[in-house]
Structure 1
């Protein structure tokens, strides 16, 4: 199932992607008289797990079968204003240098254990949203990434069971101000500027994705493919990441883990060929089964 959050008159609403359009869950719940049993926001779905997803399936099936009598419960996706597909993650964790070819292009040693850093809620951005380029930076880079969304509390889980704690996956862009990132040994400053973690457009349930480590992925800037790889090139797979992190902190429903980026980032280019993002650039992250996440770069006011 493909889930999304959109905004209407300043309020966030839950949507489900169907062949008939985007099901407005709140409107359909009222029309079908099933609002008491149907989750009304993305975090209720994540926390509700399989039962919540099944309730949405039943609602969607009923709405499709009764579409002629229910009124406008299906919306045109092209007319929606998206919100981040996960709206309030408790933690946004990121894995650095997790693609073999990216480590090589960065002249970095292959990590022996996952490299962790974090982003904060100020970095969240939606599909189609403008991202301000910080006044303090001249070297903002793109990073196409697969994001894991945790579905159940996870602590000390094995690699064999790790993916059973995952609710789903989404596309992400780990935008990075390289000059700020490399200013000190800690990367945080260059990773946590406003809107530096676009997520979306959809949160896709794990059952629909299958193996998260065999997904084609691209980053496209102004129509030019800059990154093209596959999640199979990860040094640490999704199950290894979830297990590793859970042995050091408790993962909670709604937590997001960005799993690293493949080769092709601007940081990996020779200095004389580097052309970092500028106002007006349009960056699209495409990941197989997860859709396309687009961001427009603008000047910070």
Structure 2
């Protein structure tokens, strides 16, 4: 590769050969690939070079670049196994963008810098975390043999386009553990997302995970790339619960919370009462609402909903809860906005849970416009019921 890059017009000559359609001497499937550049002049690495990774490992972004070296002998090619050294159990993935410099230069103006780039490639910089911390120099944990996966291709700048718009994604044994797009979105909105450490992700049986707070209510949202798939499907024992339906919160600053949920988090509005309440859905979830927010004196969790499979689940739950001495705080009844038949009750901690059956569904292509709804008792229950004081009273947001 260095010979090709040092050759006058080397990359253009290679492209021309491809355009002419010369038959390959060997099949790619029969090859074992080396690193993209096997004998680089130097491998300069920038530590903590983007905020998402700094958050992931629990450190601050440095004010000035932190530079270390990796040696060429530590590299391997595409689809070759990364090797954990015997001296450590703290071997970690680290997806990176490799930039290959093709044209020499010094004192280069920022505007001219990309003109010296021959191309870009993928790099999994396997890192031995405990050896990184043996001293102030982290290179000890970055240079074990077989820990730097480089490739498979060198992609030239004309093929990449705007490098700043590309997405870095890393998969570990088929599970996505890094993905920058959504994280960057929240960063661009000034919301300071925080990565969940690997050990906690493992305990949660999730892939890469981060959390971000809605600023007005203080509610924390958790986003994960993948979650473990159970061998046996869920089997109901009492109510035939189909899915977690929705979450409803009360917010002391309704308008600010509502605007953030729409503009920062991307919810779509199904129905609303101006300044008082909004039913929101997550695209492409078709159900009338997967989240809702109402004006309240304090920020708090109002209730969590479980959608059941049969209307008989509602009727059986009424008798089962009464027989068990569980307080029914509202219902059974029917909501005007969604059309759902509902039943609210208190769990052992006093938090409000809801069973519901039936709900309006939206086609996102040509979905109806959000309706501005009238306030009134019938809006909550078309059957004329009223909630008890325990309804939505005990939850908090911390």
TM range (shorter): 0.5 to 0.7
Provide the secondary structure at the position in 2 that maps to 1:53. Answer: helix
Is the 8 Å Cα contact of residues 57 and 197 (structure 2) preserved in structure 1? no
Return the structure number with greater relative CO, CA threshold 8 A, min gap 6. 1
Provide the secondary structure at the position in 2 that maps to 1:45. Answer: helix
Match of 2:2 among 37, 43, 46: 43
Q: Larger strand proportion, structure 1 or 2?
A: 1
Once residues 43 and 96 of structure 1 are traced to their aligned partners in structure 2, the CA distance between those partners, rounded to angstroms, is 25
Q: Does 1:129 align with 2:80?
A: yes
Match of 2:10 among 43, 52, 74: 52
User: How many Å apart are 1:44 and its aligned residue?
Assistant: 2.0
Is the 8 Å Cα contact of residues 83 and 127 (structure 1) preserved in structure 2? yes
Provide the secondary structure at the position in 2 that maps to 1:131. Answer: coil
Tell me what 2:179 maps to.
Answer: 228
Tell me what 1:266 maps to.
Answer: 198
Tell me what 1:193 maps to.
Answer: 144
Is the 8 Å Cα contact of residues 101 and 116 (structure 2) preserved in structure 1? yes
Once residues 125 and 265 of structure 1 are traced to their aligned partners in structure 2, the CA distance between those partners, rounded to angstroms, is 27
Tell me what 2:210 maps to.
Answer: none
> What TM-score does the superposition give when structure 2 sets the normalisation length?
0.45
Tell me what 1:76 maps to.
Answer: 27
- Runs of 4+ more than 3 Å apart: 230-233, 262-275
> What TM-score does the superposition give when structure 1 sets the normalisation length?
0.59
Is the 8 Å Cα contact of residues 84 and 147 (structure 2) preserved in structure 1? no
User: How many Å apart are 1:271 and its aligned residue?
Assistant: 9.7
| Structure 2 unmatched runs, 5+ | 185-193, 208-398
Tell me what 2:36 maps to.
Answer: 85
User: How many Å apart are 1:131 and its aligned residue?
Assistant: 2.5
Once residues 153 and 212 of structure 1 are traced to their aligned partners in structure 2, the CA distance between those partners, rounded to angstroms, is 21
Is the 8 Å Cα contact of residues 146 and 172 (structure 1) preserved in structure 2? yes
Is the 8 Å Cα contact of residues 213 and 231 (structure 1) preserved in structure 2? no
| Structure 1 unmatched runs, 5+ | 1-41, 65-71, 234-261, 276-301
**Inter-CA distance 56–270: structure 2 relative to 1 (3 Å threshold):** closer
**Inter-CA distance 267–189: structure 2 relative to 1 (3 Å threshold):** farther
> How large is the RMSD of aligned CA atoms in angstroms?
2.9
**Inter-CA distance 119–111: structure 2 relative to 1 (3 Å threshold):** same
Once residues 148 and 76 of structure 1 are traced to their aligned partners in structure 2, the CA distance between those partners, rounded to angstroms, is 27
Aligned length: 198
Is the 8 Å Cα contact of residues 93 and 116 (structure 1) preserved in structure 2? yes
Match of 1:144 among 92, 95, 102: 95
Provide the secondary structure at the position in 2 that maps to 1:95. Answer: strand
Is the 8 Å Cα contact of residues 45 and 68 (structure 2) preserved in structure 1? yes
User: How many Å apart are 1:99 and its aligned residue?
Assistant: 1.5
